[in-house]
A = this chain, B = another copy of it.
Amino acid sequence: MKKFINQPDQVVREALAGLAAAHPALRVDVERQIVVRGDAPVAGKVGLVSGGGSGHEPMHGGFVGPGMLDAACAGEVFTSPVPDQILAATQAVDGGAGVVHIVKNYTGDVLNFQMAAELAADESIEVRTVLVDDDVAVRDSTWTAGRRGTGATVIVEKIAGALAAEGASLDAVAAMGAAVNEASASFAVALAPCTTPAAGKPGFELADDEMEVGVGIHGEPGRRREKIRPAREIVAMALDAIHAAKPIAADDRLIVLVNGLGGTPLIELYLLFNEVATALGDGGRIARSLVGNYVTSLDMVGMSVTVTRATDEMLRLWDAPVTTPGLRWS
């Protein structure tokens, strides 16, 4: 297996120790696999907690910090975090104004976050849950009832995080998170599978001239397999699927994420963004954009496009300062 690791079962903990060493502003509980912003809980502020299986870095631990998440729970690779862990994160960030859980729609994540929310309620912490299910490729996939949560998670976490930083109420933050998810659609294509440290071999097989269209971020099957096509046609296919699920109007203002799945070089992501911009760009519809590796699938060679039809308020919150390892601006 070609990986920079020591032992497969220590990868998540050792990477979290590295995150802690690189980012002293974060408080990292390596044993419990919880990343918390250093000044949590912030009194009177709604806390934001997300989490999920590891292997999608920088999501979620890399999005902890002022203006975005208050805490993230890292499960083992491609495995949900557990309820006790989520409860501990929820307690750590509860500043008295309640906590929002941002949960990608995978069955294990949904169940464990729900159980943690019930445990938190027993401790008198009010929790609201924002479910992210932006992937328009398939319904009811390997680990999902309904649509999968993927690239839009970054946009939900950024915008809801900015609103929470302004002191908005629990209901307002949760409603904004849900609205961003509702306004978002994603579609992914893989050219080569990822390999988990535990398995040591690729999660699926693709012929040398094939791509997986509509792939999930754990390598779950997409809509079909077909011959590799030029970037322009791949982008057109992704945008068609997005448009079919959530139509893009002529006067929409969009946040567009062209996201790498881990093994795709940045030069190709910018080339893909050029195709997206050419296809969508007339009339300045792309109001904001992000190009890079944000929601990955270990070393998968692939990319996803996420389009959010943003309100003025969403754009304002997108522009608000953020200080995390993975997203940072002012």
Nearest chain-B residue to A61 (Cβ)? B270
B-contacting residues, A184-231, CB 8 Å:
191-192, 208, 228, 230-231
Interface string of A257-291 (1 = CB under 8 A from B): 00000111111111111110100010000100111
Please tell me if A328 contacts chain B, counting CB pairs below 8 Å.
yes
Please tell me if A6 contacts chain B, counting CB pairs below 8 Å.
yes
Given the contacts A18-B291, A58-B266, A293-B266, A303 and B273 also touching, CB distance less than 8 Å: no
Q: Are A5 and B57 in contact (CB under 8 A)?
A: no
Nearest chain-B residue to A299 (Cβ)? B265
Give A304 Cβ to nearest chain B Cβ, in Å: 11
Q: How large is the interface on A (under 10, 10 to 19, 20 to 34, 35 or more residues)?
A: 35 or more
Given the contacts A15-B274, A21-B274, A277-B18, A191 and B289 also touching, CB distance less than 8 Å: no
Please tell me if A234 contacts chain B, counting CB pairs below 8 Å.
yes
Q: For A17, what are the chain B residues with a Cβ–Cβ distance below 8 Å? A: 274, 277
Q: Are B5 and A271 in contact (CB under 8 A)?
A: yes
Give A122 Cβ to nearest chain B Cβ, in Å: 34
User: In the assembly, what is the distance between CA of A3 and CA of B230, in Å?
Assistant: 9
Interface string of A292-330 (1 = CB under 8 A from B): 010010110101000000000000000000000100111
Please tell me if A54 contacts chain B, counting CB pairs below 8 Å.
yes
Given the contacts A232-B6, A328-B329, A262 and B265 also touching, CB distance less than 8 Å: yes
Give A238 Cβ to nearest chain B Cβ, in Å: 11
Query: Which residue of B4, B21, B269 is within 8 Å of A231 (Cβ)?
Result: B4
Give A178 Cβ to nearest chain B Cβ, in Å: 28
Q: For A12, what are the chain B residues with a Cβ–Cβ distance below 8 Å? A: 267
Interface hub of A17, A18, A277 (most chain B Cβ within 10 A): A18
Please tell me if A11 contacts chain B, counting CB pairs below 8 Å.
yes
B-contacting residues, A13-38, CB 8 Å:
14-19, 21-22
Give A215 Cβ to nearest chain B Cβ, in Å: 13
Q: Are A21 and B289 in contact (CB under 8 A)?
A: yes
Q: Are B266 and A57 in contact (CB under 8 A)?
A: yes
Please tell me if A62 contacts chain B, counting CB pairs below 8 Å.
yes
Q: For A208, what are the chain B residues with a Cβ–Cβ distance below 8 Å? A: 2
Q: Are B301 and A301 in contact (CB under 8 A)?
A: no
Interface hub of A11, A268, A286, A303 (most chain B Cβ within 10 A): A268
B-contacting residues, A48-101, CB 8 Å:
54-55, 57-58, 62, 77
With A3-B191, A4-B264 known, 6 other A-B pairs at CB within 8 A are A4-B269, A14-B274, A18-B270, A263-B299, A265-B298, A299-B301
